[in-house]
Amino acid sequence: MKFRKKVVVGMSGGVDSSVAAKLLLDQGYEVIGVFMKTWDTNDPHCPASEDAADARSVAAKLSIPLYVFDFSKEYWRDVFEYFLEQNRQGRTPNPDILCNKYIKFEALWQKARELGADCIATGHYVSLKFNKNTEKSYICVPKDKGKDQTYFLYTLTQEQLARTLFPLADIEKKEVRRIARDLGLVTADKKDSVGICMVGDRNYTEFLQHYVSKSPGNIIDADTKKVVGEHMGLSFYTIGQRKTLGIGGVKGFPEAPWFVIKKDFKTNELVVSQDEEKLLGTDLMAINLHWISGSVPAKKFQCMAKIRYRSESTPCYAELVSASPESGSKSGMTMNVTFDSPVRAISPGQSVVFYDGDVCLGGGEIV
């Protein structure tokens, strides 16, 4: 009798993980669905969601078992507290990266082991490849480049990659939706999730106010130093932001958009400008570096890099250097990155992720 591998699929209640489960069934796997609850439903700020019900509906349609596990304590400890700490320091963190690292690829695996699974799978658009020369696994850009999610997975380890499947590596989103429609899945035409994981469709600033205190101060023009408005607290703004600044009709300035250029915590001033070119920069420093292979490619190397999920990859020169005590680097090393051409709105707290062609090398947090 042929041995069937047992795989746990992280089912989010979205179309991607729904079809990932179906594809694995077609490939002969014994599939178990798991819905990961990451927010305490007793918390008044818990996002309203039909995701769990949708995951149950899909599991029933596919005739697979579905377990619901509560990871809200792990999520608060490993993801949300760090998110709040970074916001209080004026940075713009990306909690989805930490959620993948600690919840979807670690806590989920522990539950999968308890269920007797051999591996886990997710609905991420990522290609997993093995390099025979280095004997290492790498995450790579998938067939549907427009849905590439390697940026969010740069913290994964060789051990995690060895026990993970990405069924959507060679399929495009339009085909995923077609499969879901043909199966009559409730998720077939469900909108893709937007925004960061714990906020979803809600207003980010309103959500953050429940956890971070306001500290009002002046909004000043970068060139004239003239006060053009008042901010509610530097934690509530991000570099490059142009909406909800509350600036309009300032005497002596044209009717044009304003952009956040800098957050000055020494003076509690939000620095803005109507000159969008002031957002362009060519250099950054990154800490808390992680490399997919387990080691840095070289002390100095050239590659491509992205400074946010939707940004274009840009050629750059990267150099590993010793960290200063105030940098906050846990490893004692930082990466200095110089781009061949200016990039827009380098934001402390976001991640810079490095690529060699379609291969994700790793990344780090921008400081």
Per-domain residue ranges for the chain?
Answer: 6-183, 204-274, 279-366
For 54, the 3-state DSSP assignment is helix
The one-letter code for the residue type at 56 is R
Please check whether residue 231 is in contact with residue 205, taking contact to mean a CB–CB distance below 8 angstroms: no
The token pair that represents 58 in the structure block: 């899909």
The one-letter code for the residue type at 322 is S
For 22, the 3-state DSSP assignment is helix
CATH of 204-274, one of 2.60.120.10, 2.30.30.280, 1.10.10.10, 3.40.50.170: 2.30.30.280
Q: Which of 46, 119, 197, 316 is catalytic?
A: 197
Please check whether residue 97 is in contact with residue 351, taking contact to mean a CB–CB distance below 8 angstroms: yes
314 Rama class: left (phi>0) / alpha (psi -120 to 50) / beta: beta
pLDDT at 100: 94
For 320, the enclosing helix (H) or strand (E) is: strand 314-322
Question: Could you confirm whether 99 is annotated as catalytic?
Answer: yes
The one-letter code for the residue type at 219 is I
β-bridge partners, 337 = 284, 318
- Kindly report the number of other CB atoms within 10 A of residue 242's CB atom: 14
Q: Directed axis angle between helix 51-62 and helix 15-26, to 10°? A: 20
Please state, in angstroms and rounded to a whole number, the distance separating the CA atoms of residues 8 and 162. Answer: 14
β-bridge partners, 202 = none
Question: 3 phi and psi, to 5 degrees?
Answer: -75, 130
CATH 3.40.50.620 fits 6-183, yes or no: yes
Question: Could you confirm whether 197 is annotated as catalytic?
Answer: yes
Domain at 279-366: CATH code: 2.40.30.10
DSSP annotation string for 204-227: HHHHHTTTS----EEEEETTT--E
Please state, in angstroms and rounded to a whole number, the distance separating the CA atoms of residues 336 and 26. Answer: 46
Sequential pLDDT tens for the chain (367 residues): 345 699 999 999 999 999 999 999 999 999 999 999 988 766 666 665 688 999 999 999 999 999 999 999 999 999 999 999 998 888 888 899 999 999 999 999 999 999 999 999 999 999 999 988 888 999 999 999 999 999 999 999 999 999 999 999 999 999 999 999 999 999 999 888 765 565 555 567 777 888 888 899 999 999 999 999 999 999 999 999 998 898 878 888 888 899 999 999 899 999 999 999 999 999 999 999 999 999 999 999 999 999 999 888 999 999 999 867 666 667 678 999 999 999 999 999 999 999 999 999 999 999 9
Give the CB-side neighbour count of residue 149, counting CA atoms within 13 A. 18
Buried b / exposed e along 272-281 (16+ C-beta atoms within 10 A): bbbebeebee
pLDDT at 194: 62
Strands 300-306, 314-322: pairing kind: antiparallel
